[in-house]
A and B are shown apart, each in its own frame.
Chain A
Amino acid sequence: MRLWRSLFCAFVLLGSIAPARADQPLLADLSSHLIAITTGFVGTSVTLFGATDGPGDIVAIVRGPERDVMVRQKRHLAGLWINALNVTFASAPSYYAIYSNRPLGEVAPANVAALHQMGISNVRLDLRDPQTPADRTTTFRAALVADQRGQGVYAEYTQSVSFLGDRLFRATISFPANVPIGTYLVEVLLVRNGNVVAGQTTPLVVSEIGVNADLNDFAYRFAALYGFAAVAGAVLLGWLSSLPFRNK
């Protein structure tokens, strides 16, 4: 069910993209729009490829579904380290990866990079509580980014887009094993002399497939039955395992 819903979203998104014109400055697509997570999933990659109408820089931003995130900080109080402060960020991307053909600083000036959220430092992270003191925001933002980078879900791959001549480009977009599930957007930007002259957004669906998806679906829709089945399975396995050791 989850898969069908995701695919449906993907088609709706595909439909919303402007129809291709012959004189389009930028055309790009992915080798696959679906990442299927099966039992043996250890991460995967898709190829981004496309063409431009002339020289320029290519920046591709891969964003996962958004969710709220709470960052907590421990403090030393009365000899103990305890969680004392927390800041919640609203609608933070669960996945953010940026690919470009050369370092982002050389591609676009700071204001353009900020506008298009180019680079991890430009990812928009809003505070759920606007009253949060500004100095605290900076340190907590840095902590969140460091944590997500450590988990491999926030990443920058500069010099990862390669050109074939002036017009054809390609990049390998890789996803780790812990890639969050949901509908992703891959935004491809053509930058010329520091200005974004064209952009195209392509959806990408990360979804569980087969037994995994069925189990997940069952766990949510028939939670009580799932719980009893889990206990029954464990009891059965426990009993079976003790049989060979009998009479010893």
Chain B
Amino acid sequence: MGILDIYLPIAGVSLDVVWLLVLGAAVGVLSGVFGVGGGFLLTPLLIFIGVPPAVAVASSANQLVGASVSGALAHWRRGNVDVVMGVLMLLGGLAGSAFGVWIFTLLRRLGQVELVISLSYATLLSILGWLMLVESSRAWLRRRKPGQPRRKLHQHNWLHGLPLKLRFRRSKLYISALLPIFLGFFVGVLSAVLGVGGGFIMVPAMIYLLRMPTAVVPGTSLFQIIFVTSSVTVLQAIENNTVDVVLALVLLVGGVIGAQLGTRWGAKLRGEELRALMALLVLAVAAKLVFDLTVRPDNLFSVVGLDT
């Protein structure tokens, strides 16, 4: 019972509108600041307040479409979207998610797909979060102590030797077109297997692997997430009938306001501060996953209704 309950037709439950708006806004802020979709937070929160898991996953994807459109437009007006980069990553991403779905089916046939997902997710996020935290705090300390030699703009390594070089004007990079395609492919595989938009892995990879300027990263990531979440929404609607538009639109009203605010707050933060905050967020999610896997749950049993 809440202040103003609304009945969700596909989910089949009544929830408080005010709570849903707050939830949407909170996730929207994250999406605007960091350029991550926020599905990794939204989905478990929805399940927690009583939405059936399958509906939570599909409706989150639907709400993320709107939130990322809103966020990407805000970044676009600031000139912070590298469209060429985004399109290349998207191409890789679509191929990657098809491959990921194949792996997912294979894992399910072997059993314990949930365990594989949680473990690989926890490992990946722990490493990623830790690396980002160390790097960003070093950068922050370096800025506090002037006089130290400034690092080169970016180091050259074997990645720069790859063919099909392209000039990315917005990102101020001259790198192989294969790099964003491969990155998109890799993230596509992960997002299909882990069931998230993949902004979480994409954002750090754009910063550290492609060495894109931090300012351009959230907008480009959101641009790409629009298409990934759109295809997920349509596929879920066709395959499972689990997209609840009422739920998605209520979350979205909160989400778009949050995304606009987030974009502004993000613009006020320095690059290394943004990266440090992002690192803490990544580590928090990893800690939660490890906690869930290793600490004895209150209730060992779970009940799943099956369609007959």
Contact = CB atoms under 8 A, between A and B. Distances in A.
Given A79-B294, A178-B50, A238-B252, A223 B14 contact: no
Contacts of A148: 303
Nearest to B237: A227
A228 B234 contact: yes
A130 to B, nearest CB: 17
B47 to A, nearest CB: 14
A219 B241 contact: yes
Contacts of A160: none
B73 interface: yes
B9 A81 contact: no
A220 B100 CA distance: 27
B221 interface: no
B112 interface: yes
A245 B234 CA distance: 29
Nearest to B50: A178
B69 A235 contact: yes
Interface string A47-80: 0000000000000000000111111111110011
B63 interface: yes
Contacts of B238: 223-224, 227
Given A215-B246, A230-B243, A242-B260, A69 B62 contact: no
Interface string A205-244: 0001001110110011001101111110111011101100
Identify which of B5, B69, B292 gathers the most chain A CB atoms within 10 Å of its CB. B69
B14 A144 contact: no
B79 to A, nearest CB: 14
B308 A82 contact: no
A94 B70 CA distance: 41
B42 to A, nearest CB: 14
B260 A234 contact: no
A68 B6 contact: no
A140 interface: yes
Interface string A123-152: 000000000000000001001101110000
A215 B63 CA distance: 17
A227 B235 CA distance: 8
Given A67-B307, A233-B245, A237-B249, A80 B300 contact: no
Interface residues of A, number: 64
Given A224-B234, A231-B62, A72 B241 contact: no
Contacts of B74: 242, 245
Contact of A226 (B112, B237, B246, B249): B237
Contact of A144 (B9, B300, B303): B303
Identify which of B68, B238, B256, B303 gathers the most chain A CB atoms within 10 Å of its CB. B303
A228 to B, nearest CB: 6
Given A69-B306, A231-B234, A238 B6 contact: no
Interface string B225-261: 0100010011111100101011011001100110110
Given A73-B301, A237-B66, A41 B7 contact: yes
Nearest to B303: A147
Interface string B34-57: 000000000000000010000000
B66 A235 contact: yes
A199 interface: no
B302 A72 contact: yes
B158 to A, nearest CB: 37
A180 to B, nearest CB: 7
A238 B256 CA distance: 6
B302 A83 contact: yes
A40 interface: yes
Given A40-B7, A144-B303, A235-B66, A82 B257 contact: no
A238 B6 CA distance: 22
B305 A94 contact: yes
Interface of B: 1, 5-7, 9-10, 12-14, 50, 62-63, 65-70, 73-74, 77, 112, 114-115, 119, 226, 230, 233-238, 241, 243, 245-246, 248-249, 252-253, 256-257, 259-260, 264, 292-297, 300-308
Interface of A: 37-43, 66-76, 79-83, 88, 91, 94, 140, 143-144, 146-148, 177-178, 180-181, 208, 211-213, 215-216, 219-220, 223-224, 226-231, 233-235, 237-239, 241-242, 245-248
